Amino acid sequence: MSTSRLPLSILKSPSHSLYSLGLGCSKPATVSRRLPHSDAATSIVVSPLPRHSWIAVLPPPAAADLIHLISWLIMAYSEPTSTDREAMQVNTGLRKPRILLAASGSVAAIKFGNLCHCFSEWAEVRAVATKSSLHFIDRAALPKDVIFYTDEDEWATWNKIGDSVLHIELRRWADIMVIAPLSANTLGKIAGGLCDNLLTCIVRAWDYNKPLFVAPAMNTFMWNNPFTERHLMSIDELGISLIPPVSKRLACGDYGNGAMAEPSLIYSTVRLFAESRNQSGDGKVG
C-alpha cells in the first residue's frame, strides 16, 4: 500500500484523538467521502495499515464543525442507489464475511453481547470467551445464531488422533478475528507467545495474512505501564491492528484512558476495512 502504518507514537499523541463518529451497527463508513468543508485541520485522515485495519484519526472537533459533521453523516448513511446496491452485491461475494469475536477478562466484556449483535447484522459470527470473561458475559443476551465457545469446548471436541482441533478449525473458518475486550493479561500472553486457553491458542496459530483486530480495556495505570507499550510494539510487529481505548469514567471509578472503544466503533472500523479491501481487490474478505 502507498501509505505506511501509523506508529504508536501518533496514536498516543495528545494532539490527536480517535473520534467516534457514532456510526451505529447497521452501516459502515465509506472511504471515499469526507467532511463537506475545506478546512484541512478538521478533515478525516484515514490511513490504511499494512494487511489490516483502517484508523480514523481526528483532532478534537470544534462546536462549529458539528453542523458539518451531521450533514456529512446524513449524506454518508442515506439509502444507497441501485448502482450502489449492485456494487455492494458484487463486492461481498457469494457468502457473508466470517467474523470470530473473542472476549478476555475485562469488565468491558459486559458489552460483548452488544458487539455480537452489531456484527451478526452483517456477518456470520462465532464467539470465543476466556474463563474470566464469563463473569461479565450474559449468554442469554447473545444472538441466537452465534455459536459460543469456551475453553471446555476445546477438549470436548477431541477424543483421538485424527479428530478436529477446535482452535485450528476456528482459525481456518474465520476471515477476521476481533478480540474485544483485550485485557492486560491476554495482551501480555499474546505478546509473549503464550497459549494456555482457547483464545490464545487461536492467536498463536493465526494466519497473519488475515486481519486480527484488538480493542484493549484496562485501568489507566495499567494502560500507561511501560510493559503495555512493549507488548503493543510486539503485537504490532505481528501485524495485529489496534483499536485504541478511550478516556472515560472507568469501572473502578477513576477517570482516564483505558476504556474499550464502543462496540459500534469497533464494528464500523472492521467493516470499513473489510469492504474497502474488497473494493481494492487486496485480499477479498467474504
Tens of pLDDT along the chain (286 residues)?
A: 433 343 443 344 333 333 333 445 654 443 333 333 334 333 333 334 444 444 444 455 555 555 555 555 555 554 444 444 444 443 445 789 999 999 999 999 999 999 999 999 999 999 999 999 999 999 999 999 999 999 999 988 888 888 889 999 999 999 999 999 999 999 999 999 999 999 999 999 999 999 999 999 999 999 999 999 999 999 999 999 999 999 999 888 889 999 999 999 999 999 999 999 888 776 667 6
Handedness of CA 230, 234, 239, 243 (dihedral sign): negative
Asked if residues 274 and 176 have their Cβ atoms less than 8 Å apart, the reply is: yes
- Would you give the DSSP letter of residue 262? P
Residue 227's contacts (CB-CB under 8 Å, 6 or more residues apart) are: 188
Question: Which is catalytic among the residues 118, 167, 201, 231?
Answer: 167
Which residue bears the cell 471515499?
32
User: Is residue 167 annotated as a catalytic residue, yes or no?
Assistant: yes
Supply the DSSP string of 198-260, one letter for each residue. Answer: HHHHHHHT--TTS-EEEEE---HHHHTSHHHHHHHHHHHHHTPEE---EEEE-TTS-EEEEEP
Instruction: Name the pTM for this structure.
Output: 0.70
In the chain, what are the domains?
A: 8-80 (no CATH), 96-280 (3.40.50.1950)
Residue 216 near residue 245, CB atoms below 8 Å: yes
Which of the 8 DSSP states describes residue 80? Answer: P
Quick check: is 52 catalytic? no
